[in-house]
Structure 1
């Protein structure tokens, strides 16, 4: 019979063996850990959103790889965003990634990386506002790479976490949106308010689609719809031969990167909205061609809902971030199709705001132009409308012209029954009807589309 002592020895030996069998996760070396306090001198220069900023630098890390740097910035006092900047102050600083855009922190907030490998942003009182959730996952270091990607890596250089997986409103070159992770870009509310705005561009099985959600429902207003692009869309550029043996750079979206997925058909982006230049093929969407280096370029969904690219162009004295692509522009999709082009309401022709529709006719446009204020709605009650000739709603091209065919009276009755309907648009050539829960910019259409706008007499 075994003695108690021998049993204890066997148990102790087994316990020690189990401990040695459990792999020990590597940790961040002590000299690479840090705690940065958000206080001290603020930087100046030409800064996007008229922001002030504070460069993040510790004894062990500079967090700067030209032209990218890690900073705190604010557009309103004592309200800071942890962000990556692109550019240097003398040329112009742009903000290309935000960590905590919906939850700003205050002075003396802390950014810290401990031995366990979790990058944490907290308030001065210790409240955690944002973190990478990488504790005890083998992180041994942190780097800001030359492409603007902030990474936490293991001892073999493998990325445990990267900012490229969490885009906000911007894609840097080589950065993607994916259906298996962050599948969208979301605009800011405004230059002074960096929280989530009403515009988004989303990758899903319906394509890469631009939405406006200002009424409680998502309204399509752009993008590349009607096609499945697979699980990934990546912003990048191609190099090709240019004029006089020069090099040209084509800004592109690389699509359908699933290994086993069949290629989708060519993009169907309602070509009657497009100019004559091609927009790409099944694997690529061509955005714009540049005759200068496109290495430092980012793609941004702006607070106005337009999707634009900006490229660093060092041949000019100032404002070196040049607009190098715009979805709504003279060369891609007509500018009047941007819902915000003429503010909350306005009549747009050839890219210009030319009038403010009213029950008294077309008045001169100004920023104060607004849709009529309506009284209390009673579903089914006959509403009053005023007519605006030769206009199209921004929704129409993405709804195949609307519902129908139906008579104009039936279209009107549908709007009467819907308290969210602010007006309707009727195509007399096809007898199709579009109800408008949001008006925005009305597009001049010389064909046979007529708008009927609700108002209170």
Structure 2
């Protein structure tokens, strides 16, 4: 028995120790879940668990899963910014944590981002993330602009959780997954995560730039493949799996401890072996094309690369971005193409101090000066991709000529064995890293021919040198040379006067915008280095004139000559309206024709309604405002100008959005001026397939062809899909056919954009009325279509839609099949998906 006073002392000590111990477990830093109707502001003052690292990056955790051990790597979701920390991503990241104190700072243990929401559009300080009452996770910028959402509203979401695998999950009352980040991978795979058939990893542009690179890896039914994006995509890695037609299981790739397993329709998975995990791991597809496995080293206190997962032959030089565009890789060293011992250089490094960033042509390739195209020869140089474009040329000369005759060809590779007169010719439309090879090691020879554009001075130098040699060695034809010289001088003089005449044409235009020199525009676009996009008539580059950002459209296609250029300058150079893209200036120097527009930071409308860029759906009020802006722009063109202007190419790709989602019409290269006393005009078919009105079959049109195209665009905005979408079931490929069926059966609600919860739940009747307005614009008889001023009144609530509508809308494919084969139409080529921030 303890004495009474000693027993009392022991009890007091026990109670004291228990009192001290309780807060330690209660303060455990572990809050992996969040409930509905919760809103977080991206601000260090409001998000308590914010950490800034020595490299300039920072994290602000919203939910975090503590490690099983007291210290170690753990998963969190919240706001992340890369150095120098000006903008943020909502992301899932791995941080070092202390289960009693929160996120810890270690010298080399910076946060590693493994998933991000809409990484092409980072947000600013005071941006918000909200888990709404109806179960949608919504990210908005500081000004309230919608940046991303999970599109999970109305699906019985109970809360949000970051689980032990690093998967950000929205779950329901039964704890079943409603939405998860694992289904929307960015550039990283985590242990336990799978890539399903059709999913892809896409690399970041650099270590500090989160925007998407051209490198991606995707799962197909026949295996795992890696590409660099171009037209067409260029393959640099493949891991095919055997196919078993009797099995219907979709192909998937799963990252497990010790392997990357590819489960296809074969009976056994195909495995890529990996080092067994000693600690936390993740796998990342990086901007140079490598898929690397990283592991946390407890001893070194940092992430280390433990495996280069995919292998290409013969070495690292076979990766597509190891030396950037046009770079030549030799033993791991990068250089720009330089032919033989020539002192002439046709390429320059993108960055003199970073050879791996690649090279750029000194003179961009111009399709209007194909006579000045030349091919530089590089012996024992090969290319990583020889899988897709094989030309019908088996000898060296035919291979070269096939490229010189095709402006889209940027290089050809001629691969042959012992006999160089019999080989295989491969064409490349966009040149990434090349590699020097040892023919004896690979048992084949390869010669690369890279296309360059000769400058006028280089062309003249070559011509003079040739004449000197001929004059010195063949004295017998001196007189002939003299005659040739006289004739050449006459032609040059005549051409000069023709160019002066053409220059005068431009000078006589009324209300002319600012005229820039070609050298000025080359300087303001940094030698046309940042391409925003391309379309049927040329490419668009970002530039800066003074403090103003601009979009410079360089006309390259032979389809648009002087006539079309004059049309575009004259049309929008003399008019100004808030809903028309402003033409700031132009350049017309010899064959160089460029247009300078105001810069539109949100890009073209197709990006926001087709969901190709993981964008959040536009809310209904924003869509209504965009439709009204388009209508006002067309109303001005049709009814408020001195001569009616028919745009003739209305489509989402030609509707650009400013930072506040105000819409403006762009690209007037196909426009037509119509006198007010003309009822119809006769013109060749022009426009884009799928947006053409029925009367194009007669070639007699009015401005009401724009109203038909406007109706198509309205339907695309309200339904959230393309007019012609071959990924849909056969009966739904054509939106107009689907609209006809749903209208006749009174089921228009079936084609409302399901990505948008507010359209389905709160504005269904308004959306139906908007579709009826579109159907009014789609009447086959152009006289039954409303004028654009009537459309504006309907949108502003001043009048109602016509009741007696004809639902037998014309099939767009009929217009295509009815065209005159001997008189081809001036179609605007459907542009590729892009992030274009300027007119096409």
1:51 paired with 2:50, answer no
8 Å contact from structure 1 (residues 346, 353) kept in 2: no
| TM-superposition CA deviations, 1:299-324 (whole Å, max 9, x none) | 211122222221222232x3334343
After superposition, the Cα gap between the structure-2 partners of 1:52 and 1:333, relative to the gap in structure 1 and judged at 3 Å, is farther
Give, in whole Å, the separation in 2 of the partners of 1:70 and 1:126.
21
8 Å contact from structure 1 (residues 211, 221) kept in 2: yes
The answer for the alignment partner of 2:260 in structure 1 is: 252
1:44-83 matches, cutoff 5 A: 44-45=52-53, 50-56=56-62, 62-66=63-67, 67-75=74-82, 78-83=86-91
1:270-309 matches, cutoff 5 A: 283-290=269-276, 292-293=277-278, 296-309=280-293
Q: Give the alignment partner of residue 320 of structure 1, picking from 303, 306, 312.
A: 303
After superposition, the Cα gap between the structure-2 partners of 1:339 and 1:32, relative to the gap in structure 1 and judged at 3 Å, is closer
Give, in whole Å, the separation in 1 of the partners of 2:288 and 2:342.
24
After superposition, the Cα gap between the structure-2 partners of 1:173 and 1:124, relative to the gap in structure 1 and judged at 3 Å, is same
Give, in whole Å, the separation in 2 of the partners of 1:449 and 1:30.
59
Instruction: Compute the displacement of 1:80 (Å).
Output: 1.6
1:413 paired with 2:401, answer yes
After superposition, the Cα gap between the structure-2 partners of 1:126 and 1:391, relative to the gap in structure 1 and judged at 3 Å, is closer
Give, in whole Å, the separation in 1 of the partners of 2:373 and 2:141.
53
Give, in whole Å, the separation in 2 of the partners of 1:298 and 1:166.
16
Q: Give the alignment partner of residue 139 of structure 2, picking from 121, 132, 148.
A: 121
| TM-superposition CA deviations, 1:412-448 (whole Å, max 9, x none) | 1110112122221111316001112233322222221
Structure 1 length normalisation: TM-score? 0.73
Secondary structure of the 1:85 match is: strand
Secondary structure of the 1:43 match is: strand
Instruction: Compute the displacement of 1:159 (Å).
Output: 0.8
8 Å contact from structure 1 (residues 298, 310) kept in 2: yes
Secondary structure of the 1:289 match is: coil
Give, in whole Å, the separation in 2 of the partners of 1:36 and 1:404.
60
After superposition, the Cα gap between the structure-2 partners of 1:234 and 1:312, relative to the gap in structure 1 and judged at 3 Å, is farther
1:436 paired with 2:428, answer yes
Secondary structure of the 1:413 match is: helix
Root mean square deviation, CA, Å? 3.2
Give, in whole Å, the separation in 1 of the partners of 2:341 and 2:192.
50
Give, in whole Å, the separation in 1 of the partners of 2:429 and 2:154.
49
Give, in whole Å, the separation in 2 of the partners of 1:125 and 1:375.
41
The answer for the alignment partner of 1:94 in structure 2 is: 112
Secondary structure of the 1:358 match is: coil
After superposition, the Cα gap between the structure-2 partners of 1:380 and 1:116, relative to the gap in structure 1 and judged at 3 Å, is closer
The answer for the alignment partner of 1:376 in structure 2 is: 366
8 Å contact from structure 1 (residues 379, 418) kept in 2: no
8 Å contact from structure 1 (residues 186, 201) kept in 2: yes
8 Å contact from structure 2 (residues 326, 434) kept in 1: yes
Instruction: Compute the displacement of 1:404 (Å).
Output: 5.3
Give, in whole Å, the separation in 2 of the partners of 1:285 and 1:404.
38
Instruction: Compute the displacement of 1:163 (Å).
Output: 1.1
1:150 paired with 2:131, answer no
8 Å contact from structure 1 (residues 92, 321) kept in 2: no
Give, in whole Å, the separation in 1 of the partners of 2:207 and 2:405.
38
1:8-407 matches, cutoff 5 A: 33-40=37-44, 42-45=50-53, 50-56=56-62, 62-66=63-67, 67-75=74-82, 78-88=86-96, 89-90=105-106, 91-179=109-197, 183-213=199-229, 215-225=230-240, 231-238=250-257, 250-256=258-264, 261-263=265-267, 283-290=269-276, 292-293=277-278, 296-316=280-300, 318-328=301-311, 334-350=315-331, 352-353=332-333, 355-361=335-341, 367=354, 370=359, 372=361, 373-377=363-367, 381=371, 383-396=373-386, 398-399=387-388, 402-403=390-391, 406-407=394-395
Secondary structure of the 1:336 match is: helix
Give, in whole Å, the separation in 2 of the partners of 1:394 and 1:137.
46
Instruction: Compute the displacement of 1:33 (Å).
Output: 4.1
Note the residue ranges of structure 2 that are not aligned, 5 or more in a row: 1-32, 68-73, 97-104, 440-444, 459-840
Give, in whole Å, the separation in 1 of the partners of 2:173 and 2:288.
43
Instruction: Compute the displacement of 1:173 (Å).
Output: 1.1
8 Å contact from structure 2 (residues 275, 306) kept in 1: no
The higher-RCO structure (CA 8 Å, 6+ apart) is 1
Larger Rg: 2
The answer for the alignment partner of 1:269 in structure 2 is: none
Instruction: Compute the displacement of 1:117 (Å).
Output: 2.2
Instruction: Compute the displacement of 1:32 (Å).
Output: 5.8
8 Å contact from structure 2 (residues 330, 435) kept in 1: yes
Give, in whole Å, the separation in 2 of the partners of 1:402 and 1:225.
21
8 Å contact from structure 2 (residues 118, 147) kept in 1: yes
Instruction: Compute the displacement of 1:454 (Å).
Output: 2.0
| TM-superposition CA deviations, 1:367-394 (whole Å, max 9, x none) | 4562543453358748422221111111
8 Å contact from structure 1 (residues 150, 162) kept in 2: yes
Instruction: Compute the displacement of 1:168 (Å).
Output: 0.9
The answer for the alignment partner of 2:516 in structure 1 is: none
Note the residue ranges of structure 1 that are not aligned, 5 or more in a row: 1-28, 57-61, 239-249, 264-281
Secondary structure of the 2:302 match is: coil
Secondary structure of the 1:449 match is: strand
Secondary structure of the 1:231 match is: coil
Give, in whole Å, the separation in 1 of the partners of 2:282 and 2:213.
19
Give, in whole Å, the separation in 2 of the partners of 1:414 and 1:353.
31
The answer for the alignment partner of 1:276 in structure 2 is: none
- More divergent stretch after superposition (359-368 vs 202-211): 359-368
- More divergent stretch after superposition (358-367 vs 408-417): 358-367
Secondary structure of the 1:345 match is: coil
After superposition, the Cα gap between the structure-2 partners of 1:31 and 1:167, relative to the gap in structure 1 and judged at 3 Å, is closer
Instruction: Compute the displacement of 1:99 (Å).
Output: 1.4
Give, in whole Å, the separation in 1 of the partners of 2:192 and 2:342.
47
After superposition, the Cα gap between the structure-2 partners of 1:431 and 1:226, relative to the gap in structure 1 and judged at 3 Å, is farther
